[in-house]
Chains A and B, each alone.
Chain A
């Protein structure tokens, strides 16, 4: 892909380049092509400033209202079906051949409104739950061959057998990274309208063939998208409207409110925890403590709350808790004592 013309690319050359536009608007599905554009500034530093500006122009433009009118989706289809039936054009048998799509929509409604208990009742005989302990990570292959990496002290539940006429659904507590098998990539076995739904603490992620991370701890849920496209819906009367996320989009959600929506510069960093045992970027001590407690079962005390705000700039990638503690004590002006195996006391000063 090395091409000299790129070294002198101007803003208008970028905006004029179909391949660049396709990638910058999140429509590029071909991984090597996407990687070429992601790494463009490293390959062609002389055009990096124009590249960044072109990306910014498109990104800022793309932040706009998305009007999907989902409330009327089922209703409009009913009208279409009724009109076609009235026109007598090979009238579709309404009830038995009701579309898979409508049925899938009904399932979501029950799952999000009726909630956990109802699902438990109906799905209990074939329900499978996989949980990880402290400090443990697991990679799970779902019945449709989608791959989930489950972080420490997390659980995932799903039906053992997946009915091809219903949406694929999983429930997550804790943190998980999903690499979802593309819908209907198996050309000999098409299942129109099939969907993949991830439920987690009051929100539902609808997947359209993609990889993303969901983290649900202490009533707060964080979703970050690496590739593809997902739609996030929120349950509850006061909840915000469903939103579509594109690669690099990141949200935090709790108690019917979106706390944060932002773009992440390097979407790949969202899933680094699946490859490196312990990883942080520009983390505060507070975030590190949260991980030690949630993922490793430590009890952590601090001498004063203010030191939780201390921040370690840059990336931390370490193999175990011991190394992490060494990084903390060498970087920050704090002292760490370990009164027992799973207890830590952090005090300021050396």
Chain B
């Protein structure tokens, strides 16, 4: 999982190597922006948080440990810094859920490259994902887009393992419920799979 060069840059940066520090910045800037964008549309806010994050990394470098994954460490740091910032601005920013952690929005742009049946499936997946609460959408993003394991997601989102599973199963459960309600006419495959879901759902979680 961990890329060799990330470890080398991280170790060199902790010893005060400025080039290694900017290499880490160069490597992760885009990914952090893309992740941050899901929490807020405010580009300046994201840039401020990325700025603060890297300034703090440099100034506290001698006290930093060796994370299992530099990328995940930065995701987690960005996430909590972003939440703190959003909370401190909460007089001005409307929060979309009670936890005060803000929303999570993936922007699905029209994509003509899919074949028709895939296009239909895509619309359904998007519709289903959009019905989920923010934190469940975030799990789906980290899993399907970033390809992360449950353990990694649990660390980044600061939730324990069982709750990670619960959230994801809830998400899948929601997917299935909505698909039953709304998409009675879609591909027979989806019905088959929905059945699979319900079987699983009868097993009590955790």
Contacts and interface: CB of A to CB of B under 8 A. Distances in A.
A69 B150 contact: no
A77 B22 contact: yes
A61 B145 contact: yes
Interface in A176-196: 183-185, 187, 190, 192-193
A92 interface: yes
Contact of B23 (A11, A23, A193): A193
A39 interface: no
Interface in A1-40: 10-12, 15, 18, 21-28
B200 interface: yes
Contacts of B37: 65, 67, 69
B111 A67 contact: no
Contact of A60 (B107, B118, B143, B190): B118
B5 A99 contact: no
A61 B142 CA distance: 12
A21 B144 contact: yes
Contacts of B146: 25, 27
B37 to A, nearest CB: 4
Contacts of A15: 143, 172
Majority-rule SS of B interface residues:
helix
A12 B172 contact: yes
Nearest to A192: B23
Interface string B1-34: 0001100110010001111101101100110011
A67 B33 CA distance: 7
A69 B46 contact: yes
Chain B interface size range: 35 or more
A11 B193 contact: yes
A73 B143 CA distance: 26
Given A64-B107, A262-B113, A12 B22 contact: no
Contacts of B149: 18, 21-22
A213 interface: no
Contacts, number: 172
Nearest to A194: B23
A73 B9 CA distance: 19
Given A21-B144, A84-B55, A11 B196 contact: yes
Q: Which of B19, B47, B126 has most chain A Cβ within 10 Å?
A: B19
A18 B150 contact: yes
Contacts of A284: none
Contacts of B25: 77, 80, 99, 101
B82 to A, nearest CB: 14
A58 interface: yes
Contacts of B83: none
B113 A80 contact: no
Interface of B: 4-5, 8-9, 12, 16-20, 22-23, 25-26, 29-30, 33-34, 37, 43, 46-47, 50-51, 54-55, 58-59, 106-109, 111-114, 118, 121-122, 125-126, 129, 140, 143-150, 172, 189-190, 192-193, 196-197, 200
6 contacts: A11-B197, A23-B147, A25-B144, A65-B107, A73-B29, A101-B23
